[in-house]
Chain A
Amino acid sequence: MQALLQLTIANIRSFVRDRAAMFWTLVFPLIFILMFGAIFTGGGTSTRVFAWVDGDGSAASAELRAAFAELDNVELRDATEAGGLDAMRQGDLRAVIVVPAGYGAAVAAAARAPGPPVAITVYTDPTQQNQSADTFRFVQTVLGRINLEVSGRGPAVVPEARAVQTESLTFISYLVPSILGMSLMQLGVFAAIPLVADREKLILKRLSATPLRRWQLVGSNVLMRLLIGIVQTLIIVTVGALAFDVQISGNVLLVAALVVLGSLSFISLGYVIASFARTEDAANGMTSVVQFPLMFLSGTFFPIDEMPEVLRGIARVLPLTYLSDALRQVMVGGTPFSPLWLDFAVLGLFLAICFAISARFFRWT
């Protein structure tokens, strides 16, 4: 136990003192997130796009529409309730506002004598907490003014919140789990390089002349990468949340399970590479050959459904596709590419295959 712990610490020290490793695992993913985040969320004037469903068709409802429309940074699209909700589910809108039939009459009545308030239905996606809150603040501002004009007494018009599960994500909330998947993949695949270097420098041979057991050696390696994977996850999730409002809506335990399973799978892929790379240079080359297709063809930057047919076929056999898909599903409620259980099963199978190959071909000297 003592040996395992000390070796893990030694591995972490070597890792932290390796600038290239630090860059690839900690800085590189953040560059992606910050770069894409800045491009895709910056300076939008029409970020508040609402569907406007007028069920009343009165002068009062037209007046309400005008009160919304005259504010800055808002775009209203007239729609039916069903049409608006569809558009919202696809991610084209932030909210759907429904003015009920009888709105005009109710407001007129309220101006004469106080009665029960009339409700404006506002559909938002509560998993997008900040956006949802912003929408309600905005609606309240407008309704507050209307209420003052109407009676000056109790509220005549109130918003009624309804939840809609939007299926399509904003680009940045698509990207954050993808980048996390990509980072865990790199962290695992890059395990090959120090491993081959240690073998080339005969460090593995020197260790095998001590009472240290091989499971301790492998265990410390895996433990170190898992710890770094957790740190990576925390950093990426925190930056996503603070800089771009990407909220993690899912089950934390499920996220943790995916981080662990994903890390283990790709670490074992790293061991497969180390089984066939003789020199550190060869290991460097092989990790590049493996990591770039994984990075670009696993739906990291845009959904697999939007890729050409040929590439979609490739994506379907890449393990990172399933890790990132599962992370998106669990973390931000992304549209499933494959069912969650299948994602887990594919990763588990991939881990088993890589483990078997390494067990068969890995050489210590």
Chain B
Amino acid sequence: MTVAAPAARETGLAIRVHNLRKQYGETRAVDGISFEVRSGEVFGLLGPNGAGKTTTVEILEGLRAADSGEAMVLGIDANRNPETLKPRIGVALQTASLYPKLTVTEVLDLFRSFYGRRGHSTGELIERFDLTEKRTSQTRELSGGQRQRLVVALALVNDPELVFLDEPTTGLDPAARRSLWEVVLDLKRQGRTILLTTHYMEEAEVLCDRLAIMDHGRFLESGTVKELVGRHFQERAVRFDRIHGLADASLAAIDGVVSVAHENGEVVLYTRDVPRAIDGLLAAAGAAGTEPENLTIRRPTLEDVFLALTGRALRD
């Protein structure tokens, strides 16, 4: 079956955020961010735990009030008129939040009734999200992947033009994650607008048209994956296991090395001239009486962008 895109889409902007702020005590969960999401686009918020992704998304869903700033969603002020907004968006919270003792069919039927039963039939959704075998199972009996598929299905019961997915694949095994990516890519093909958060770089690279890298409530960088990687890295990444007695300062002094970072016990040298950097590295290691182990050369990814921007790995 096909889930057709809603016929009349507004052209232009689905989301406009300007100078948005939200503070909890001393914590600036969202610290003055601005961005726009175009209709039909998949926009990603990428950042580590505590970056402020959920806070941002839930303000846009009308679930939390911002302290200040503008949050326009589908032309509606999410702060002032959340009740006007809610029928038009689809929401998948970061935590599954399902009635444990209701079956898949019952939960879908229930949520459809909240929207006056417009949109897709329960049967269509069950088939589309590959839950046919589980349709009479209570939700507490579902696997992690099935739960997440149901959570996304629930975000689509009203056939919304804009869907929020907050870390939809966190905690899933790789197979379940890929199957959920297929679901999201399918939504994208239907022309729905999606705002997605994740702390998986690979996920952002596969799914997002554009993304913003977020940390401590702020945007460090935003653009397409290509732009982000290209803007920071004409360099390649040379990685090897940490060598004792070889200080960062002496690595940074190697001819051709632009910067040095650490990730999970590995040292990463960024360079535009790989042969020259490796020559220098071998020499420096030799001087310390050893040689680098597990030496690899990679094209940089978003992972490297984040590492370069924050000096730490995205996953701790």
Interface residues of A, Cβ cutoff 8 Å to B: 2-3, 5-7, 10, 13-14, 17-18, 198, 201-203, 205-212, 365
Q: A10-B99, A14-B101, A17-B101 are in contact. Are A211 and B86 (CB under 8 A)?
A: yes
User: B91 to A18, Cβ gap below 8 A?
Assistant: no
Q: Answer whether residue B200 sits at the interface, using C-beta atoms and an 8 A cutoff.
A: no
Partner of A2, one of B87, B95, B97, B113: B113
User: A205 to B63, Cβ gap below 8 A?
Assistant: yes
Residue in B closest to A4 when the chains form the complex, CB atoms = B113
User: B101 to A18, Cβ gap below 8 A?
Assistant: yes
B residues less than 8 Å from A17 (CB atoms)? 101, 138
CA distance A207 to B113 in the complex (A): 12
Closest 5 CB pairs of A and B: A6-B113, A202-B97, A206-B97, A209-B91, A210-B114
Which of these binds chain A: B66-74, B104-112, B255-263? B104-112
Nearest Cβ on chain A to B65's Cβ, whole angstroms: 12
Partner of B97, one of A3, A10, A18, A205: A205
User: A13 to B102, Cβ gap below 8 A?
Assistant: yes
User: B86 to A10, Cβ gap below 8 A?
Assistant: no
Q: Answer whether residue B243 sits at the interface, using C-beta atoms and an 8 A cutoff.
A: no
Beta-carbon contacts of B100-133 to A below 8 Å, as 1s and 0s?
1110001001110111110000000000000000
Q: Answer whether residue B172 sits at the interface, using C-beta atoms and an 8 A cutoff.
A: no
Of the A-B pairs whose beta carbons lie under 8 Å apart in the complex, a sample of 5, sorted by A's number, is: A2-B117, A6-B110, A198-B99, A201-B97, A203-B98
Interface residues of B, Cβ cutoff 8 Å to A: 61-63, 83, 86-87, 91, 93, 95, 97-102, 106, 109-111, 113-117, 138, 154
Nearest Cβ on chain B to A258's Cβ, whole angstroms: 31
CA distance A207 to B115 in the complex (A): 12
User: A206 to B93, Cβ gap below 8 A?
Assistant: yes
Residue in B closest to A204 when the chains form the complex, CB atoms = B97
CA distance A201 to B99 in the complex (A): 8
Residue in A closest to B84 when the chains form the complex, CB atoms = A211
15 additional A-B pairs beyond A6-B110, A206-B154, beta carbons within 8 Å, are A2-B116, A3-B113, A6-B113, A6-B114, A7-B110, A7-B113, A10-B110, A17-B101, A17-B138, A201-B95, A201-B97, A205-B63, A209-B61, A210-B86, A365-B63
User: B101 to A209, Cβ gap below 8 A?
Assistant: no
CA distance A202 to B99 in the complex (A): 10
User: B63 to A14, Cβ gap below 8 A?
Assistant: no
